[in-house]
Amino acid sequence: MNAPSGGPAHRGAERFGHPPALTFLFATEMWERFSYYGMRALLVLYMVKYLLAPEHTGTVYGLAAFKAALEAVFGPLAPQPFASQIYGFYTGLVYLTPIAGGLIADRILGQRRTVLIGAALMAVGHFMMASERLFLFALFVLILGNGAFKPNISTQVGALYAPGDRRRDRAFSIFYVGINLGAFLSPLVCGTLGEEYGWHYGFAAAGVGMTLALIIYLAATPTLPADAFAKRETAQTPLTRADWQAIIALLLLVLPVSLFWATYEQQGNTIALWADQQTDRHVDLLLFAFDIPVTWFQAFNPFMIFAFTPLVVALWRRQGAREPATVTKLAMGCFLNAAAWLVMALAAWYVGGAKASWLWLFAFFVIITVGELYLSPTSLSLVTKAAPVRVLSLMMGVWLATSFVGNFLAGYLGTLWSRLDRVPFFLMLALIAAAAGAVIALLDRPLRRVLRD
C-alpha cells in the first residue's frame, strides 16, 4: 500500500508495506541499542571489580578530581557507592542531552547531520572505553553522542508517513522491536566477551555495533526524509486555560514517575551486583547444565518485553470498557514495580546469607517488566494526547527528563547497597515504588477530565 497522496516522498519500492527507509532506521537503532545496553551491562561490574580497585584508580584521567567533587557533597565514597554515583550520572545525562540534540537538529543542523554526528561520537566513545585512562572522557563523549542521536532517529521514523497514515503506529511498533532486539542480544555478546575474555573486549564489541549502526545509516541516506526545521513564527496564539491545566497536570505526574525510574533502573546497578555476588546461577536441565553469566540477566527484561507485550495488549482489548484509564495504568505500573522488589526482599530473607536461586531473579524480571509495559509506553501516549500541540515537543522533553531525574536518584539509592542489609534495601525500593503508585492513584480522578482521558 502506498502512502496517501501528498505524503512524504521516499525512494525505492516499499518493503513489507512500509517505506524502505524504515528497514534502515530499524537496523540502525538495533545496533545503536546493542552498543548502549552492551556497555551498560558491563559498566557497574567493570567499575566495582576492576577499575575502582586501588591499583587502577590512579591511572584514570580526572577520576580523583571527580571523586573529590562527589565526596564534597555526599561524604566519603567506597568503590561500590562511587560506581553507583558514576552509573547514575551517566544514565541520567543520557536522558537529558536529547533535549539539546533535538533543538540543534530542529534549528541548526537538521536531523540527518545531527544523527551522523551522534553516531560517530558514540562509536568513538565505545572504543575509548577500551582504555581505562580515558574512562571518564569516554562516558562524556557517549553522553554527547546519545544526545545528538536519540531524539532525531525517532523523528525520522515519523517523518516517513503523512498525517493520518495508519501505518505510522505500526511503524513505531516495528521500530520498538529493533530497540529491544538490540537490548536483548547485547548482554549475550558484549557481556560474555567482557566477563570471559576481558572487559575491554566487551566494550570494543559495543564499539563495533555502533560502527555498524553508522554504516547502515550512511547507506540509508538516499531513502531518508528531508530535514524538517522548526518554523520560526513571529506571532503565536497564547495558551488557553485548558492548555495550562493540562501542562500542570502532567507536571504533577513528573515526580512519581521519576521515582518509578529511580527504582526500575537498579536493574543495571545493584541487581547486577546481586546476580554476581548472591545468586546461584547454576542451571541443571535434563540434557545439560551450565552457569548463567552475570551479564545475561540484563537480557531478561528485553526478552520479556517481546513475550509480554502481545499479552498485555490483548488483556486491555479483552477488558473493553473496563480497560483501566491511562493514569490508572501508570499507578498499576508503580505497584507492580513495588511487588517486584518485594520478591527480592523475600528472596534475601529466605536465603539469609546464602546464595539465592536464579529463579528469584527470573520472577523479579517478570513482574517488573509487566510494570514497565503498564507505565512506559502508556505515559508517552498520555503526553502526546494531553499536551497542547504548541508545546508538545517541549513537554515530551520534560517527560523524558523523568528518566533523567530517575537515573540520578537510582545512582544515589545504589550507594546504600553497601550500608544496608539486603532485606531493608529491597524493602526501601518497594516502599518508594509503592509511594509513587499511591500518589498517582490519588491524582487519578482529579486529572482524568483535565488530561482528556
pLDDT in tens, 70-113: 999 999 999 999 999 999 999 999 888 888 888 888 778 888 89
Give the confidence band of 223 by pLDDT, cuts at 50, 70, 90. Answer: confident
Identify the residue with better confidence: 117 or 14: 117
Determine the 3-state secondary structure of 290 from DSSP. strand
Determine what percent of the chain is predicted with pLDDT higher than 90: 51
For residues 400 and 414, what is the distance between their CA atoms, to the nearest angstrom? 21
pLDDT in tens, 232-246: 444 457 888 888 888
Instruction: Check: CB of residue 152 under 8 Å from CB of residue 103.
Output: no
Identify the residue with better confidence: 111 or 359: 359
Tell whether the model's pLDDT for residue 421 goes beyond 70: yes
Look at residue 7 in the predicted model and tell me its pLDDT.
44
pLDDT in tens, 144-156: 999 888 878 877 7
pTM value > 0.75: yes
Give the confidence band of 2 by pLDDT, cuts at 50, 70, 90. Answer: very low
Helix 241-264 / helix 358-386 crossing angle, nearest 10 deg: 170
Give the confidence band of 399 by pLDDT, cuts at 50, 70, 90. Answer: confident
Look at residue 228 in the predicted model and tell me its pLDDT.
65
DSSP output for 253-289: HHHHHHHHHHHHGGGGTHHHHHHHHSEE-EEE-SS-E
Identify the residue with better confidence: 275 or 400: 275
How distant, in Å, are the alpha carbons of 65, 173, 222, 441 from that of 254?
33, 25, 40, 14
For residues 56 and 61, what is the distance between their CA atoms, to the nearest angstrom? 11
Which of 94, 231, 101, 82 is CA-nearest to residue 154? Answer: 101
For residues 294 and 271, what is the distance between their CA atoms, to the nearest angstrom? 10
For residues 420 and 338, what is the distance between their CA atoms, to the nearest angstrom? 18
What per-residue string of b and e applies to 226-239 under the rule 16 or more CB within 10 Å gives b?
ebeeeeeeeeeeee
Tell whether the model's pLDDT for residue 166 goes beyond 70: no
Look at residue 316 in the predicted model and tell me its pLDDT.
83
Instruction: Check: CB of residue 161 under 8 Å from CB of residue 1.
Output: no
For residues 62 and 46, what is the distance between their CA atoms, to the nearest angstrom? 18
Q: How far is CA 188 from the centre of its chain?
A: 18
Determine what percent of the chain is predicted with pLDDT higher than 70: 90
Give the confidence band of 9 by pLDDT, cuts at 50, 70, 90. Answer: very low
Q: How far is CA 281 from the centre of its chain?
A: 26
Query: Which residue in the block uniquely carries the three cell numbers 548472591?
Result: 278
Rg value, the chain, Cα: 22
What cell was used for 365? 524480571
Q: What angle do CA 153, 158, 159 make, to 5 degrees?
A: 90
Identify the residue with better confidence: 4 or 376: 376
Look at residue 241 in the predicted model and tell me its pLDDT.
85
Mean pLDDT of the chain: 86
Query: Which residue in the block uniquely carries the three cell numbers 514497565?
Result: 372
Tell whether the model's pLDDT for residue 207 goes beyond 90: yes
Look at residue 13 in the predicted model and tell me its pLDDT.
54
For residues 274 and 192, what is the distance between their CA atoms, to the nearest angstrom? 18
Identify the residue with better confidence: 84 or 400: 84
pLDDT in tens, 303-340: 998 888 888 878 888 888 888 888 899 999 999 999 99
Give the confidence band of 177 by pLDDT, cuts at 50, 70, 90. Answer: confident
Most confident of 6-10, 169-173, 443-447: 443-447
For residues 148 and 153, what is the distance between their CA atoms, to the nearest angstrom? 9
Tell whether the model's pLDDT for residue 121 goes beyond 90: yes
Could you give all domains of the chain from N- to C-terminal order, each with its CATH number? 16-228 (1.20.1250.20), 241-282+293-453 (1.20.1250.20)
Instruction: Check: CB of residue 90 under 8 Å from CB of residue 82.
Output: no
